[in-house]
Amino acid sequence: MRQALKIILEAAPGFRWLGEATNGIEAVDFCAGNNPDVVLMDMQMPRMDGVEATEIITRNYPGIGVLAITAFSSEEYLVPALRAGAAGYLVKDAEPKEILAAIQAVQDGSAAISASVSQDLILAIRDAHEVKANSAMGENPIALSEREHEVLQLLAHGKNNSEMAAEMHVSEATVKAHLSRVLAKLGVRDRVQALIRGAQYGLVELHMD
């Protein structure tokens, strides 16, 4: 699989293959010395699995995006990967153009989720990982402004920054500012985590369309 990804990336304009690792420990060490923009992370590896490696990389190197690429589309692997900080999740049978688009999306700060795992993501958020807000948090722990809530809603419909700007009749810089405040208020680092947290708190409903 690593060789296939290497061939795809080396043949694509604008992409550069920096190297590879055979386990999670090597992946973490590689990031320390090479500072890649995006890491393509398998979930099942010897010595240290992809979830633990993703958590360490996203915590210690916040400028590096992690894209999980795995054979498993089930909630058992999907939710831990996203919670560890992965900005995207693809299955290994994804077409080369989908892989390249996902890498670019992660690099641009967007979410990248295979269509084949979207159903699992939505079901996991709705059914398996509810946030139990304690009494100190109150009934409405997150207070988003009208514009911030609108950004979160558009994000749930898969809109990128330029599409949000057009629909809201504002600049992309304004959208980015709103989105940054949404991430800060939700206490998350990226768009995927914002959708998970927003759904958990009932701030947004995810759709399949």
Q: What is the 3-state secondary structure (H, E, C) of the chain?
A: CHHHHHHHHHCCCCCCCCCCCCCHHHHHHHHHHHCCCEEEECCCCCCCCHHHHHHHHHHHCCCCEEEEEECCCCHHHHHHHHHCCCCEEEECCCCHHHHHHHHHHHHCCCCEECHHHHHHHHHHHHHHCCCCCCCCCCCCCCCCCHHHHHHHHHHHCCCCHHHHHHHHCCCHHHHHHHHHHHHHHHCCCCHHHHHHHHHHCCCCCCCCC
| CATH number given to 2-127 | 3.40.50.2300
Q: Which residues of the chain have pLDDT under 50?
A: 128-139, 208-209
Q: What is the pLDDT of residues 191-208, one digit of tens each?
A: 777 877 787 777 876 554
Q: How high is the pLDDT of residue 105?
A: 85
Q: If you classify domain 135-200 with CATH, what class do you get?
A: mainly alpha
Q: How high is the pLDDT of residue 131?
A: 45
**Domain ranges for the chain:** 2-127, 135-200
